[in-house]
Structure 1
Amino acid sequence: MRTYRLKMNLQYFSQEKTEKATPQKRQDSRNKGQVARSAEIPSAFMMIGVFLFMSFLGGWIIEGLQTMIRSNFVYITNWTLTEQNVDLMLKDNVWQAAVIAAPLMGISLVMGVIANYMQVGFLVSTDPLQAKLERINPLKGAKRIFSARTLVELLKSLIKITFISAVTFTVLWNKREEVMLISQKSIGDAISLVGSLIVQTGLAVGILLLFLALLDYVYQKYDFEKNIRMSKQDIKDEYKKSEGDPLIKSKIKEKQRALGMNRMIAEIPSADVVITNPTHFAVALKYDPNEMDKPTVVAKGMDYVALKIKEKAKEHDIITTENVQLARALYHQVEIGDGVPEDLFKAVAEILAYVYSIKGYPGGGN
């Protein structure tokens, strides 16, 4: 019973999401469009950009509106009210309004792009656009409506409305004397005052929203990091997926070593001599002066592999000679298929000369 409980506890803790997300997990989330971002930052940037533009070029906007209104009055007094004239006037008004609104829309677009790029960089993901049945699941929809995140969003909205109302009231209260006298001003001065109040209020609210948006971004970052946490089992599964199952990898390496050793052993019959130390190391050399510049190692091994090399050499009547220092040097310094280094030429030449004298010919090869 205790063993069962211990096993269940270990399984529970292995599934508990307590670990920071790995780079692979972060990249997968990013590919799905899941990133830490605040929707309030683009709104704040757009508001500040639009009202800054209006503060510098508000006169041009007002002049454009006045021109449009003035031209309408002129057209109405001079034109006959027909369907064609009304259509022409509306098209002209739409065009003039578009010219006036285009800079504001352009500023909004640029500021929105900048704000999003500052948060998440360049990101294009189609995953949020894909149709998923779980999004229309009533049960999951109800859970989202009554979740803690929804309550947090509601609280944020209430705080935002409260602060925006307070800032708007403060700006208007500071200008209350001018507002009270607006009825005594000319139409141009009244419009100028109203425009100034709108720009001041908009900038103040924009700066406030930017401050609240930065706080919201900190919260979104924290919430995002919490949501992408991984359990210890998740990390193990990810490692297996990316690197491969360790058991399978070891089997593959074992097969590769076996194939490599088989190919190496198959080359031993063409060797001229096997040099041993005598038990731990064995190195098989081949030399054909017509094809090679220097003797070449065709097989080498230690312990069990060395034993197999010596058995194969004995099977094919390959001469085996003992030279502890040379066997060790060849094993550690020369890879299979490489030639003998110059500093070992003399020792190897002496052994080959000995082998050739036994075989009864002065040249190399079989």
Structure 2
Amino acid sequence: MQQLKLDLQYFAGEKTEKATPKKREDERKKGKVAKSQDINTAVLLLFCFIILIAFGGFMKNGMLALYHQAFTEYINWNVTTETVMQVFVESVIQMAKILAPVMIVAIIAGVAANLAQFGFMFTGEPLKPDLKKIDPIQGAKRIFSVRALVELLKSLFKIVFIGGITFFVIWLYKDDMMMLAFKSVDDALAFFGRSTMIMGISATLALLFLSVFDYAYQRYDFEKNMKMSKQDVKDEHKNIEGDPLIKSRIKEKQREMATRRMMSEVPKADVVITNPTHYALAIKYDETEASAPYILAKGTDHLALKIREVAKAHDVITVENKPLARSLYQAADIGEIIPEAFYKAVAEVLAYVYNLEKKL
């Protein structure tokens, strides 16, 4: 028996259930989502290389203009606070113009890569100080964990794979590289620029290809870590819906309050129709309140007994009519006008009560 209990506790704590929407939302607020950093890097590099190809001439002319100005104009200036500041400001402005296309595209590419993976998300949770992050024991566990080993193997594979591609590109251009000594500076720079772009785009496409598999792994690992035990699901359900015991007590209190309010209406009734023991309904007819008699209170068994007791204590006449009490109890609720089908039967009861009150 003890072993069975231990087994049940083990299986209750085993994480076999998929994460609930609430847990996913809570983890998302903490900044924990499935994403591949390789996708961000690959998209960023791809767009940057495309911009370099498109604006390479503009950037080259800008750099040459800056060098020309520096070695023909700035070099002849006297070194003073004002001239140094002017050189600094003009150089910064010129470099900003040169790098602006790359920087703008890099920002757009980085945002787009993240949006494509997990949509828009803004949270400050990862920025909050957490002493666990500097805990050496936890740090050692992360370093020597299975995940760290997988990341190491992935990195080694990426280095070998992408390195092999770049080496292949260099090997294709080895003959042209050997002949650079016989070419002009402009031709040499053009060759290096062209070969660098080919290597960069080839490596980027290779990384983009690998990032698809990396994203699939990251999503699998994320879903695995997000799994919950059956007990976790139950606890979450309790937190959302409330403890069943507390809910039942609240409902019980609500019923007690409703019963007290109902009982306070019984003394206002014209008549109480009974079964006689199982059903009791307090009926009131007031032309200023409704066009037909309506029910002030009703109940069965113990509640019916209370209604009869309150009616007797306040001299409300009780009339026994088994079929009418049972049918009317099922047909109308508290505060409702009695259905038209019961008009005649209830009118006879009220007429009997009114005649009885006149005799009294």
TM-score, normalized by the shorter chain, greater than 0.5 = yes
1:251 maps to which of 249, 252, 255: 249
Residue 88 of structure 1 deviates from its aligned partner by 3.3
Relative distance call for 1:80 and 1:248 in structure 2 (3 A) is: closer
> Which residue does the alignment assign to 2:73?
75
Residue 193 of structure 1 deviates from its aligned partner by 2.3
Q: Are 1:298 and 2:288 matched, yes or no?
A: no
Distance (whole Å) between structure 1 residues aligned to residue 168 and residue 280 of structure 2: 92
Residue 277 of structure 1 deviates from its aligned partner by 4.1
Superposition map of 1:129-148 within 5 A: 129-148=127-146
Deviations 1:207-252 (A, max 9, x none): 1111212211111111111112111221222122221111111111
Distance (whole Å) between structure 1 residues aligned to residue 352 and residue 183 of structure 2: 121
> Which residue does the alignment assign to 2:229?
231
Residue 172 of structure 1 deviates from its aligned partner by 2.3
Distance (whole Å) between structure 1 residues aligned to residue 202 and residue 345 of structure 2: 90
> Which residue does the alignment assign to 1:34?
32
Deviations 1:270-323 (A, max 9, x none): 111122344443221111234443322110123332233233333433233344
1:25 maps to which of 23, 26, 35: 23
- Among the aligned pairs, what percent are the same residue? 49
Distance (whole Å) between structure 2 residues aligned to residue 21 and residue 233 of structure 1: 12
Residue 4 of structure 1 deviates from its aligned partner by 2.2
Deviations 1:23-57 (A, max 9, x none): 11111111111111111111111101101111222
Relative distance call for 1:154 and 1:279 in structure 2 (3 A) is: same
1:176 maps to which of 174, 177, 182: 174
> Which residue does the alignment assign to 2:346?
348
> Which residue does the alignment assign to 1:93?
91
Read off the aligned partner of 2:118 and give its amino acid letter.
V
**Structure 1 residues 334-343 or 206-215, which shifts more?**
334-343
Distance (whole Å) between structure 1 residues aligned to residue 198 and residue 94 of structure 2: 26
Deviations 1:158-198 (A, max 9, x none): 11111111111122223333333333333333322222222
Distance (whole Å) between structure 2 residues aligned to residue 57 and residue 244 of structure 1: 61
Relative distance call for 1:183 and 1:280 in structure 2 (3 A) is: farther
Preserved CA contact (<8 Å) 2:42 2:207: yes
Secondary structure in structure 2 of the residue aligned to 1:25: helix
Read off the aligned partner of 2:262 and give its amino acid letter.
M
Distance (whole Å) between structure 1 residues aligned to residue 234 and residue 311 of structure 2: 46
Relative distance call for 1:80 and 1:55 in structure 2 (3 A) is: closer
> Which residue does the alignment assign to 1:364?
none
Distance (whole Å) between structure 1 residues aligned to residue 98 and residue 85 of structure 2: 20
How many residues are matched? 359
Secondary structure in structure 2 of the residue aligned to 1:274: strand
Superposition map of 1:1-366 within 5 A: 3-75=1-73, 79-80=76-77, 82-83=79-80, 85=83, 87-360=85-358
Residue 108 of structure 1 deviates from its aligned partner by 0.8
Relative distance call for 1:290 and 1:149 in structure 2 (3 A) is: closer
Residue 325 of structure 1 deviates from its aligned partner by 4.8
Secondary structure in structure 2 of the residue aligned to 1:360: helix
Distance (whole Å) between structure 1 residues aligned to residue 142 and residue 299 of structure 2: 65
Read off the aligned partner of 2:205 and give its amino acid letter.
I
Deviations 1:102-161 (A, max 9, x none): 211111111111111122222122222121222222211111111111111111111111
Distance (whole Å) between structure 2 residues aligned to residue 116 and residue 207 of structure 1: 18
Distance (whole Å) between structure 2 residues aligned to residue 184 and residue 351 of structure 1: 123
Read off the aligned partner of 1:192 and give its amino acid letter.
A
Distance (whole Å) between structure 1 residues aligned to residue 355 and residue 335 of structure 2: 25
Distance (whole Å) between structure 1 residues aligned to residue 53 and residue 323 of structure 2: 89
Distance (whole Å) between structure 2 residues aligned to residue 134 and residue 334 of structure 1: 63
Secondary structure in structure 1 of the residue aligned to 2:295: strand
TM-score by length of 1: 0.90
Relative distance call for 1:308 and 1:76 in structure 2 (3 A) is: closer
Preserved CA contact (<8 Å) 2:74 2:87: no
Residue 83 of structure 1 deviates from its aligned partner by 4.2
Distance (whole Å) between structure 2 residues aligned to residue 239 and residue 193 of structure 1: 65
Relative distance call for 1:139 and 1:268 in structure 2 (3 A) is: same
Q: Which runs of 4+ in 1 moved over 6 A?
A: none
Distance (whole Å) between structure 1 residues aligned to residue 80 and residue 148 of structure 2: 51
Secondary structure in structure 2 of the residue aligned to 1:335: coil
